[in-house]
């Protein structure tokens, strides 16, 4: 019964927002709240799950108008703490020991309370000061129940308004649901923390409070306690420029070298220690970029810096920000307009995050679904740029990217495992050579059986020239495949020094393979030159 009532409550709030939105679009009436404010109120009234859902949805700048993003970003976890006795029960259940065995002291008054968890101060028996983050009881069940209900409402909405399919609401709901599950599993957060602790262990400018080994479970995480001032504190204003540069250096390293970055660097998750180190905490949301994505992102940044519309278009396609059946001239024109807009601004006002957003919105007409990791990156870029400009309003981000970018990319290349890549190339080449005889044998049998080139016989009146052309092309393809095989075989024979040698140094079999390959290459080149086309 409670699940059914919850479904009706969600449906009612959905209907209330839809009514507000429809009336506003038709200009029939104006209520006390605008549609973005009404959406904010609906999520706030629906409680914990929808507050987190709204915060996650605010990341989707690629599909939501700015006024909705702003409204949803203001959703705060202003929720009353749950009883300390309940928290202690959850801690003891999660860590498997009585509270007195775990801590020498435990602060019953929470330091903070949010929709997912609340935080208490404590001391370990060895004297270390820590914070204890404990998950709200039943939050996992509540999220699953509410997201099931939201999915049902979304399916009904799609049935009534088919146009909503364009925004792929069910995919967005599944994506947010999956990441909410990760966010409330503190074991994942502890793994994230450990990775950043190791990565920044030798950095004198960055501090990452450690998770305490043995005091982590799905519902509880114990972490070193750190203190400091906010990034907007006047006390650090004199060091603002250097702190801003240190922050940019750390993020460039995370994105382009480490491949893992803090996904939510808003002012509440950053503070400056007494030693003037930048302290990052709350690693529930991190982004991950593989090597290919990092290279494509580097190309995107370089194209933006050099104001090259064609390069920027290619980089955006490679990243997955743009795609589909596109008119390149139209997109190139849109990118040129964005570049021209930035060229007219002071350099200190250039924003990579804003440019990334504007380019992603060009793809809305093609129904391009920006990958989740790029959505997290976009959120991180907006928050990081805000943090940098809070530390130093005059900081020139573009100049820093031009100066530091090559150093960072060089460091990324130096970290590449070249031995592994070479071994992989060797194995791949050997596998290709082993498969080549089977492929050629199969191809030869098919040629003999079908008797007409590659089986592309066309017996249409008046198309004799086309048939001849196809026959010649198929022969060239077959010869090119054999030539490639000979080059690969020759390279392997040369690499492993197989067979007899010429002049006591050069493998004879490799020489024969290269000679045949070169002869076939010359024949192909001559045939193509005679035809006047490739």
**Helix (H) and strand (E) counts for the chain?**
19, 13
Convert 290-306 to b/e letters by CB count within 10 Å (16 or more is b): eeebbbbbbbbbbbbbe
Nearest to 253 by CA among 191, 185, 201: 201
Pairing mode, if any, of strands 105-106 and 129-135? unpaired
Give residue 458's pLDDT. Answer: 45
Is the CB of residue 260 less than 8 Å from the CB of residue 378? no
Cα distance from N-terminal residue to C-terminal residue, the chain: 71
Q: Is the dihedral of CA 236, 237, 243, 248 positive or negative?
A: positive
Determine if residue 47 is left, alpha or beta; phi over 0 gives left, psi from -120 to 50 gives alpha, anything else beta.
left
| Long-range Cβ contact pairs of 451-455 (< 8 A, separation 24 or more) | 454/478
Is the CB of residue 184 less than 8 Å from the CB of residue 278? no
**DSSP bridge partners of 525:** none
Is the CB of residue 348 less than 8 Å from the CB of residue 395? yes
CA separation for the pair 465, 352 (Å, rounded): 54
Render 423-477 in DSSP notation, one character per residue.
HHHHHHHHHHHHHHHHHHHHHHHHHHHH-STTT-----TT-HHHHHHHHHHHHHH
Give residue 443's pLDDT. Answer: 64
Is the CB of residue 457 less than 8 Å from the CB of residue 467? yes
CA separation for the pair 90, 86 (Å, rounded): 6
Query: What does each of the 534 residues of the chain score in pLDDT, given as a tens digit?
Result: 566 777 778 878 887 777 777 777 776 656 677 888 888 888 888 887 888 888 888 887 777 888 888 888 777 656 788 899 999 999 999 999 999 999 999 999 999 888 888 999 999 999 999 999 999 998 898 889 888 888 888 888 888 778 777 777 888 888 888 888 888 899 999 999 999 999 999 999 999 999 999 999 999 999 999 888 999 888 898 898 999 999 999 999 999 888 999 988 888 889 999 999 999 988 988 999 988 888 888 888 888 888 888 888 888 888 877 766 667 787 888 888 888 888 777 767 778 888 888 888 776 655 556 788 888 888 888 889 889 989 988 888 777 777 776 666 665 555 555 455 555 555 666 666 667 677 667 766 666 665 554 444 445 454 555 556 666 666 767 777 777 777 676 666 665 565 676 656 667 776 777 777 777 777 766 666 666 555
Angle at 271 between CA 270 and CA 275, to 5 degrees: 135
CB atoms within 10 A of CB 252: 22
Give residue 494's pLDDT. Answer: 63
pLDDT tens sequence across 64-123: 888 888 888 777 656 788 899 999 999 999 999 999 999 999 999 999 888 888 999 999
| 3-state secondary structure (DSSP) of residue 122 | strand
Give residue 456's pLDDT. Answer: 47
Nearest to 107 by CA among 93, 88, 90: 88
Q: Where are the beta strands (DSSP E) in 325-372?
A: none
Give residue 200's pLDDT. Answer: 95
CA separation for the pair 331, 337 (Å, rounded): 10
CA separation for the pair 40, 51 (Å, rounded): 9
Is the CB of residue 405 less than 8 Å from the CB of residue 252? yes
CA separation for the pair 479, 486 (Å, rounded): 11
Render 283-337 in DSSP notation, one character per residue.
-SSEEE--HHHHHHHHHHHHHHHHT-HHHHHHHHHHHTSS-SS--HHHHHHHHHH
Average pLDDT of every residue of the chain: 80
DSSP assignment letter at 344: T
CA separation for the pair 364, 63 (Å, rounded): 7
Residues 6+ positions from 161 with CB-CB distance below 8 Å: none
Question: Domain locations in the chain?
Answer: 2-77+142-177, 286-414, 418-531
């Amino acid at each position: 019964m409670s699940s059914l009532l919850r479904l009706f409550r969600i449906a009612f709030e959905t209907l209330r927002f839809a009514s507000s939105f429809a009336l506003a679009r038709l200009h029939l009436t104006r209520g006390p709240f605008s549609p973005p404010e009404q959406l904010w109120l609906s999520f706030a009234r629906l409680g914990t799950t929808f507050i987190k859902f709204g915060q996650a949805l605010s990341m989707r700048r690629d599909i939501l108008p700015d006024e909705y993003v702003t409204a949803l970003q203001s959703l705060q976890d202003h929720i009353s703490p749950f009883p300390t006795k309940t928290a202690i029960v959850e801690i003891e259940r999660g860590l498997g020991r009585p509270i007195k065995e775990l801590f020498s002291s435990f602060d019953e008054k929470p330091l903070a309370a949010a929709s997912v968890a609340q935080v208490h101060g404590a001391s370990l028996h060895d004297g270390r000061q820590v914070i204890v983050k404990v998950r709200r009881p039943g939050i996992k069940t509540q999220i699953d129940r509410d997201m099931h209900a939201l999915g049902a409402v979304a399916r009904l909405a799609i049935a009534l308004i088919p146009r909503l399919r364009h925004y792929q609401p069910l995919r967005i709901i599944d994506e947010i649901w999956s990441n909410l599950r990760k966010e409330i599993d503190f074991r994942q957060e502890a793994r994230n923390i450990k990775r950043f602790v190791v990565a920044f262990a030798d950095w004198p400018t960055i501090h990452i409070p450690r998770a305490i080994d043995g005091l982590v479970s799905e519902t509880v995480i114990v972490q070193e306690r750190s203190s400091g001032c906010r990034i907007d504190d006047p006390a650090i204003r004199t060091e603002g420029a250097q702190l801003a540069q240190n922050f940019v250096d750390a993020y460039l390293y995370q994105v382009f070298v480490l491949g893992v970055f803090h996904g939510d660097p808003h002012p509440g998750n950053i503070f400056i220690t007494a030693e003037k180190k930048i302290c990052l905490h709350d690693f529930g949301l991190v982004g991950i970029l593989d090597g290919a994505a990092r290279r494509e992102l580097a190309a995107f940044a370089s194209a933006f810096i050099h104001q090259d519309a064609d390069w920027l278009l290619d980089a955006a396609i490679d990243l997955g920000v743009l795609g589909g059946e596109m008119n390149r001239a139209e997109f190139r024109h849109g990118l040129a307009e964005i570049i021209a807009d930035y060229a007219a601004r002071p350099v200190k006002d250039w924003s990579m995050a804003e440019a990334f957003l504007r380019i992603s919105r060009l793809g809305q007409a093609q129904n391009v679904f920006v990958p989740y990791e790029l959505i997290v990156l976009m959120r991180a870029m907006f928050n990081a740029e805000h943090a940098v400009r809070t530390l130093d309003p005059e900081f020139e981000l573009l100049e820093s990217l031009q100066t530091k970018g090559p150093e960072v990319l060089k460091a990324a290349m130096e970290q590449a495992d070249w031995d592994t890549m070479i071994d992989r190339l060797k194995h791949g080449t050997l596998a290709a050579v082993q498969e080549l005889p089977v492929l050629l044998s199969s191809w030869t049998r098919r040629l003999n059986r079908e008797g007409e080139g590659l089986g592309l016989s066309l017996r249409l009146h008046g198309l004799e020239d086309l048939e001849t052309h196809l026959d010649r092309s198929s022969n060239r393809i077959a010869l090119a495949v054999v030539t490639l095989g000979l080059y690969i075989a020759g390279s392997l024979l040369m690499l492993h020094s197989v067979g007899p040698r010429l002049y006591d140094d050069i493998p004879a079999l490799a020489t024969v393979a290269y000679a045949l390959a070169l002869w076939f290459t010359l024949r192909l080149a001559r045939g193509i030159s005679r035809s006047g086309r490739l």
